Amino acid sequence: MNEKPDMRIKIGSLEMKNPVTVASGTFGYGPEYADLVDLDRLGAITVKGICTEPHVGNSTPRTFETSGGMLNAIGLPGPGAQGFIKKYLPFFENYRVPLIVNIWGKTVEDYSRVAEIFNDQARISALEVNVSCPNVKEGGALYGTDVNLFRTVVDAVRIKTQKPLIIKLAPNVADIKVFARAAEECGADAVSIMNSYPAMAIDIETRKTQLANRTGGLSGPAIKPIAIKLVWEAAKVIKIPIIGMGGIYSPEDALEFIIAGASAVAVGTASFTDPSTVVRVIEGMEKWMAARKISSVAELKGTVQA
Amino acid sequence: MNEKPDMRIKIGSLEMKNPVTVASGTFGYGPEYADLVDLDRLGAITVKGICTEPHVGNSTPRTFETSGGMLNAIGLPGPGAQGFIKKYLPFFENYRVPLIVNIWGKTVEDYSRVAEIFNDQARISALEVNVSCPNVKEGGALYGTDVNLFRTVVDAVRIKTQKPLIIKLAPNVADIKVFARAAEECGADAVSIMNSYPAMAIDIETRKTQLANRTGGLSGPAIKPIAIKLVWEAAKVIKIPIIGMGGIYSPEDALEFIIAGASAVAVGTASFTDPSTVVRVIEGMEKWMAARKISSVAELKGTVQA
Amino acid sequence: MTQETTTVIEHRLFQGDYRLLKLSAPAVGPLVQPGQFVHLRVPRLADAVLRRPFSVFKADAAGLSILYKSVGKGTAALTTVTEGEEINLIGPLGTGFPMIGKNTKTPVLVAGGYGNAALYLQAAKLPVKGIAFFGGRSAIDILCVDEFKTLGWDVRVTTDDGSLGQKGFVTAALDLWLAEQKNLQALELFACGPNAMLKAVGDRAIQNSLTAWLSMDRNMACGVGACLTCVIKRKTAAGWEWARCCKDGPVFEAREILWDE
Amino acid sequence: MTQETTTVIEHRLFQGDYRLLKLSAPAVGPLVQPGQFVHLRVPRLADAVLRRPFSVFKADAAGLSILYKSVGKGTAALTTVTEGEEINLIGPLGTGFPMIGKNTKTPVLVAGGYGNAALYLQAAKLPVKGIAFFGGRSAIDILCVDEFKTLGWDVRVTTDDGSLGQKGFVTAALDLWLAEQKNLQALELFACGPNAMLKAVGDRAIQNSLTAWLSMDRNMACGVGACLTCVIKRKTAAGWEWARCCKDGPVFEAREILWDE
Ligand SMILES: Cc1cc2nc3c(=O)[nH]c(=O)nc-3n(C[C@H](O)[C@H](O)[C@H](O)COP(=O)(O)OP(=O)(O)OC[C@H]3O[C@@H](n4cnc5c(N)ncnc54)[C@H](O)[C@@H]3O)c2cc1C
Ligand SMILES: Cc1cc2nc3c(=O)[nH]c(=O)nc-3n(C[C@H](O)[C@H](O)[C@H](O)COP(=O)(O)OP(=O)(O)OC[C@H]3O[C@@H](n4cnc5c(N)ncnc54)[C@H](O)[C@@H]3O)c2cc1C
Ligand SMILES: Cc1cc2nc3c(=O)[nH]c(=O)nc-3n(C[C@H](O)[C@H](O)[C@H](O)COP(=O)(O)O)c2cc1C
Ligand SMILES: Cc1cc2nc3c(=O)[nH]c(=O)nc-3n(C[C@H](O)[C@H](O)[C@H](O)COP(=O)(O)O)c2cc1C
Ligand code: FES
Ligand code: FES
């Protein structure tokens, strides 16, 4: 019948066989969903944020469900760079799927150091830099919303790694174009948009915030229209690829991001709702494109009417 | 049984018998919901944004439904200041409910002029300045996200009116505290938080944006956790009252805003879903407080645990 | 206009893809005028903030009914409501069809899709019965022919595939018929259906200096005139102004409407 | 662990506020071990992004059942599912109860609320039957007494209001009984219920150097160990580390747990 569309895309030197990955923090370190999802079916796997040293993260409660979304303030607990290499990297020897490691730090030196450590790991295909995590008081928020600090971090990481470098932008800025441009100018190979949006909920009976960390990040279908807008805006000013995310639940959602200007997409919160989402998205995109004789994702990218 | 709680609050010299108004643009100019809602039951009525001159607004489609919310890009059509005075102000002679008029402009002079015109109208109880409308390219977005322009507008309006002055903040800023403080310093009597959030949706079949204006503002339950966070942040740094809004659908939602630090609240999108919401919110708040022997809204305000 | 919690009295397949939903609405039912609509809060549509507008098919003191088709998530959810369930509605809304002018001898109805339902009350109310042109893709899409006949209307059907009545567009049938008429000034048109059909009917009316009342279907949010979502361009001396389909319409006279390109 | 679209075979009031939901789950059912849970996508909860976790009450090749109470919007929506409807689930999840130690002569079950259901498979599986302490507010809250008796367990009931069994807390009854025991080392505890009860059971076990397996109830998002929502503090040589209730638990040995304050 219809020919299979060409789903391949490139992020710097990283070739993905399809444009669909998972959002950092929503898919663990890889093994957690391996029983339920055929990992090698994905364009890439993006793991939870990792810092140089092991980190304990926030107290509980760490998540809270809201209308059409959820709040999270996990606080980036993790085994640290060496811990990740020892504990989780061997797992990926049994898979071919490209591995994107999300990194973060409390200081510029942290970022630089963790990038350096991972630069030597052949199994890691790309680094995604989280400058936008709204949960860690020690840095995240600041790096992502102050363009000078932002440049400092991107520069510091760029210098330490030859791997494709993805900068994950903070959504809570007046003008995303400023940060998208800065990332491109500092030599990033791609940007990802968006992280969860700073938000909060309160239990009116106890007067306590619903998250131990007080504030957290809003994710899920609720934020999709915000994410689409940010991707569309950024796509107007940069040439490097954009990985779009925020509330992707269906092939149609993913296609909306591509049409808005993203080269790739990530499925996040939807994996909690239904772990089969990410594969369903890949298959659905393929089918949708084939039915319309769209020969490649590249052809579809940014085709929203001006 | 239980005594009625004291629901009164003050916005500058404006005394409201309860802290509940409606969000500008979601309740027309007053008469539209008069058959369905007992207008005098409200703490105040806030009408759709008005500029000096009649304005035509955006093409259609102007709204689009999303998960847990909606996009709007109405584009501030309206009869202009004189048109409003002639066409709609007489209607309010039959009601006692305080009237808050939302104003906007394309230039600082527009803002100043419309404030001046309305300053002479005794039936108008307060002005709410929309510096945050994301839809009108000619200004809105800029005034609300650049703190210098922001101050210029607030100063220009303040000088022209003795009426209580409410500044409606834009949510899409890196730090809402900066704008809340600036409003207070420039002599505003209150701030309202938040306007709808810049967002977008695309029809993947036609590749057209779902709104003629391309982008629009996201409102409804989806954004409530963002609004709560912004109110909570602003409340930490200003003494003037905050009118909280964003996805209020129930008395519990309204109470959550009050506990986060708002003195008053506005029901917006919920009036479309159910016009009876605003009265249900007032009655429900009263009942909830009475049952817990909370004697006044003032007592409840900002009681979230630190 | 009032808000009422109604009860589903009857809910069944009506014809083809169309379902009949009958609600006990003692407050709203008796107030409905032909061409008006109701704004329903669809049950079990928890993540949707907007109501859905539907023309009133029939209405009396006992209740009101609508005919609808499942076309999206709201109408799909509506198909799952069961008898006895409650549905909140606001109505009656909008400015419906006027009485025929005093010089009108032959009222002419033109309808497609749910337009047949939207015109029923008008067809019943008009003191003179005339001719009704119903168009649709296929026989299954042509609603209520017998009901209009019973009211005394001369019903002419066209279908795109010729499976019922004349093959072709409803406007072609209307054209042929108009060409035969001696006294065009005795005619008055009432139409409800897809946009393209409405525009075609309006154009013919204007060419022939006839009055044509068109019921416009526009996406709505509030349904009561407050949000300015549902606007169309209405001609004025100076050019045009926005008019709200939910309040100033949905029925407009063809000459009032400024169609976008 | 697998994901399966199951069919509701039975759904009815079980006792008091509790409902029994039985699902045909040929893939998941046969894999369930005592103390494991399933993660359900609740139908008709369109604006909710999270699944809801429930302990498996009974399971076999034909299906599995849960006992649940309506406490919030997810469980309220669950009450509306009907026989024949489909429910998607992931399971079996978590690390459940272990077999009793080889020196254990008398296994002791302690349960409150849905804990009675969560312990049933373990009660059925254990080769030695011992004593079961069930607590609740009132007679209506004490589930499955006869089922446990049928399995051969000595069931002791306490209720806050004395409407069934002993009046008072389940832990008080446990204390009295423990005080009578000569050979504490022949005991092994298995508990599921409210947090305060679990902590009290754990404290007693530690004081008496007993092994106590506690099934912890924590809010969950992913249910599979990926999101780090459901963590509790587990003691380590150096201090403590986070352990995930959904993967490393829900069952933990009392000495492992570092209770917050
Ligand atoms: C005055 C009026 C009278 C109507 N009468 C009838 C009737 O009698 N029978 C009938 O079957 N349909 C009628 N419609 C159309 C009906 O309102 C839509 O089919 C319905 O809103 C679609 O909702 P959905 O959630 O299924 O579709 P979706 O496409 O999922 O809806 C998404 C949004 O678009 C809006 N929308 C989608 N299609 C339409 C449309 N054609 N018109 C207006 N809004 C739309 C919805 O209201 C909703 O806000 C009428 C519309 C109007 C304006
Ligand atoms: C391992 C495990 C096994 C469980 N087994 C059972 C069982 O067999 N029978 C039973 O009735 N209940 C059981 N629960 C509790 C059950 O999951 C909650 O009652 C249910 O999630 C409440 O959802 P809701 O939408 O009705 O409540 P809401 O309060 O509206 O839920 C909001 C959010 O809080 C979470 N939540 C609320 N209460 C709890 C709770 N007590 N535990 C965990 N998360 C909660 C929900 O999952 C949801 O994410 C179990 C919980 C866990 C963790
Ligand atoms: C539980 C949870 C944990 C997350 N952890 C991280 C993280 O470690 N690093 C990061 O850059 N983003 C993290 N995110 C943000 C997601 O990667 C993603 O940007 C966001 O959730 C929006 O996508 P979604 O709406 O599809 O979930 C996390 C999100 C959630 C819900
Ligand atoms: C249809 C529509 C029109 C609006 N028009 C205006 C306006 O004219 N001026 C303004 O300041 N805000 C306007 N708003 C924003 C609302 O006043 C409110 O800030 C926002 O919708 C968030 O509240 P909600 O989630 O309760 O709707 C409009 C919102 C909607 C949905
Ligand atoms: S739908 Fe709101 S004005 Fe018509
Ligand atoms: S619920 Fe996600 S790790 Fe346990």
The secondary structure of B94-109, three-state, reads HCCCCEEEEECCCCHH
Q: Are residues D80 and D18 in the same domain?
A: yes
Shortest-distance Cα residue to atom 23 of ligand 2: D74
Q: How many residues does chain C have?
A: 261
Overall domain count for chain C = 2
Instruction: Please give the angle made by the CA atoms of D238, D244 and D250, to the nearest 5 degrees.
Output: 115
State which residue of chain A sits closest to D73, comparing Cα positions. A65
**Residue C49 to chain A, least CA–CA distance (Å):** 11
* pLDDT value at B139 more than 70: no
Yes or no: say if A104 and A51 are a contact pair by the CB < 8 Å rule: yes
Report the distance separating Cα A52 and Cα A113, nearest Å.
Answer: 7
Would you list the DSSP string of C20-67? EEEEE-TTTGGG--TT-EEEEE-TT-TT----EEEE-SEE-SS-EEEE
| Gap between the Cα atoms of A288 and C250, Å rounded | 36
Instruction: Tell me, yes or no, if B51 is annotated catalytic.
Output: no
Q: Which of C93, C126, C161 is the last residue of a domain?
A: C93
Kindly report the average pLDDT of chain B as a whole number.
94
CA max distance for chain C: 56
Mapped onto helix, strand or coil, the DSSP state of residue B73 is coil
In Å, how far is A59's CA from the nearest CA of chain C? Answer: 30
Band (C62; pLDDT cuts 50, 70, 90): confident
Q: Domain check: are C130 and C206 in the same one?
A: yes
Query: Measured between beta carbons, which residues in chain C are less than 8 angstroms from residue A67?
Result: 47
Residue B193: both structure tokens together? 């938080």
**CATH code (residue D147):** 3.40.50.80
DSSP label of A171: S
Write out pLDDT tens, residues C151-166. Answer: 999 999 999 999 998 9
CB within 6 Å of ligand 3 — which residues? Answer: A 23-26, 48-49, 72, 74, 76, 102, 130, 133, 168, 195-196, 219-220, 223, 245-248, 268-270; D 227
Q: Where are the beta strands (DSSP E) in D113-176?
A: 131-136, 154-159, 166-167
Per-residue burial over A7-35, b = 16 or more CB atoms within 10 Å of its CB, e = otherwise: bebbbbebebbbbbbbbbbbbbbbebbbe
Burial of C214 per CB tally in 10 Å (0-12, 13-18, 19+) = buried
Position D100 in a domain: no
With respect to residue C85, please indicate whether it lies within any of the assigned structural domains: yes
**Range of the structural domain that residue C172 is part of:** 106-258
Residues C57, C114, single domain; the answer is: no
- Show the tokens assigned to A152: 């400092």
Distance CA D108, CA B52 (A): 79
**Residue B133 scores a pLDDT above 70:** no
Instruction: Give just the sign of the alpha carbon dihedral A248, A251, A256, A258.
Output: positive
One of B133, B218, B227, B282 is an active-site residue; which one?
B133
Domain contains D183: yes
pLDDT tens digits, one per residue of B227-280? 999 999 999 999 999 999 999 999 999 999 999 999 999 999 999 999 999 999
Both D46 and D123 in one domain: the answer is no
In this structure, what DSSP letter does residue B206 have? T
Q: How many other β-carbons are positioned within 10 Å of the β-carbon of residue D73?
A: 15
pLDDT at A132 over 80: no
Give the HSE-up count for residue D190: Cα atoms under 13 Å, Cβ half-sphere. 28
> Angle of helix C170-180 relative to helix C195-207, nearest 10 degrees?
20
Cα(B175)–Cα(B242) distance, rounded to whole angstroms? Answer: 16
Instruction: Kindly list the structural domains of chain B, giving each domain's residue range(s) and its CATH number in brackets, ordered by start.
Output: 9-300 (3.20.20.70)
Q: Is residue B19 less than 8 Å (CB to CB) from chain C?
A: no
**Residue B67: closest C-alpha in chain C:** C47
Instruction: With a cut of 60, say whether residue B192 has pLDDT above it.
Output: yes
Interval B37-65: pLDDT, tens = 999 999 999 999 999 999 999 999 999 99
Tell me the chain A residues in contact with residue D50 when contact means C-beta distances shorter than 8 Å: 63, 65, 70, 272-273
Q: D41–A273: do the CB atoms touch at under 8 Å?
A: yes
Number of other CB atoms surrounding residue A82 within 10 Å: 13
Task: Map residue C252 onto helix, strand or coil.
Answer: strand
Kindly list the residues of chain D whose beta carbon comes within 8 Å of any beta carbon in chain A. Answer: 1-3, 41, 47-51, 88, 90, 218-219, 221-232, 242, 247, 260
Question: According to the model, what pLDDT value does residue B141 have?
Answer: 52
Do B67 and A247 lie within an 8 Å CB cutoff?
A: yes
- Sheet holding B99-103: strands in order across? B20-22, B264-267, B242-245, B190-193, B165-168, B126-130, B99-103, B45-50
Contact C90, C3 (CB under 8 A): yes
D6 and D67 housed in the same domain: yes
**pLDDT band, very low/low/confident/very high, at A141 (cuts 50, 70, 90):** low
- Give the confidence band of C45 by pLDDT, cuts at 50, 70, 90: confident
Q: Tell me what the mean pLDDT of segment A82-107 comes to.
A: 95
Q: Is residue C99 part of a domain?
A: no
Select from C63, C93, C123 the last residue of a domain: C93
Q: What local confidence, expressed as pLDDT, does residue C261 receive?
A: 59
- Atom number, ligand 5, closest to the C-alpha of residue C231: 4
Q: From the alpha carbon of A224, which atom of ligand 3 is closest?
A: 25
Q: Is residue C49 part of a domain?
A: yes
Report whether the peptide linkage leading into residue B98 is cis, meaning its omega lies within 30 degrees of zero: no
| Ligand 3 atom having least distance to the Cα of A192 | 19
The chains in contact with chain C, meaning 3 or more Cβ pairs closer than 8 Å, are A, B, D
Q: Map tokens 């797992």 to a residue.
A: A91
A12 and A30 Cβ atoms separated by less than 8 Å = no
Q: How far is CA D143 from CA A15, A86, B131, D119, D123, in A?
A: 57, 47, 60, 11, 14
Has residue D142 been placed in a domain? yes
Indicate whether A137 pLDDT > 60. no
Give the other-Cβ count within 10 Å of A148's Cβ. 8
**Share of residues in chain A with pLDDT > 90 (%):** 89
**Residue C259 neighbours by CB under 8 Å, 6+ apart:** C199, C202, C233
- C77 and C190 in a single domain? The answer is no
Phi and psi of C116, rounded to 5°? Answer: -60, -40
Tell how far the Cα of C89 is from the centroid of ligand 1, in angstroms. Answer: 15
Is the domain of D86 the same as that of D139?
A: no
Average pLDDT of span A148-170? 95
Cross-chain residue pair B63–C221, CB shorter than 8 Å: yes
Instruction: Provide mean pLDDT across the span C42-69.
Output: 93
Note the pLDDT tens digit of each residue in A230-272.
999 999 999 999 999 999 999 999 999 999 999 999 999 999 9
Task: Report the pLDDT value the prediction gives residue B135, as an integer from 0 to 100.
Answer: 42
* Letter string b/e over residues A159-190, b meaning 16 or more CB atoms within 10 A of that residue's CB: ebbebbbbbbbbbbbbbbbebbbbbbebebbb
Residues of chain D with pLDDT under 70: 261
The confidence score (pLDDT) of residue A134 equals 46
- Residue C20 sits at the vertex; the CA angle it makes with C15 and C26, to the nearest 5 degrees, is 160
Nearest CA in chain C to A221: C47
Give the pLDDT of residue A140. Answer: 45
Atom 35 of ligand 1: nearest residue by CA position? C219
Assess if residue C101 is contained within a domain: no
Give the ligand with the smallest distance to the CA of D223.
Answer: 6
Contact B68 A68 (CB under 8 A): yes
Cβ neighbours of A68 in C, within 8 Å: 47
Nearest atom in ligand 6 to the alpha carbon of residue D244 is: 4
The preferred substitution site among A24, A51, A101 for testing ligand 3, maximizing ligand atoms within 8 Å of CB, is: A24
CB pairs under 8 A between B and C: 89
Residue B137 has pLDDT above 60, yes or no: no
Confidence of residue B138 (pLDDT cuts 50, 70, 90): very low
- Hey, which bits of D32-103 come out as E strands? 37-41, 52-55, 58-59, 64-69, 86-93
Alpha helices in chain C, H assignment, sequence order: 73-78, 115-125, 145-151, 170-180, 195-207
Determine the Cα–Cα distance for residues C109 and C133; give it in Å rounded to an integer.
Answer: 6
CATH code of the domain covering residue C84: 2.40.30.10
Among residues C25, C60, C93, the one where a domain terminates is: C93
Cα of A21 vs centre of ligand 5, distance in Å, is 41
Domain match, D41 and D148 both: no
Which ligand neighbours the alpha carbon of C243 most closely? 5
CA distance B128 to B166: 4
Q: Is residue D171 part of a domain?
A: yes
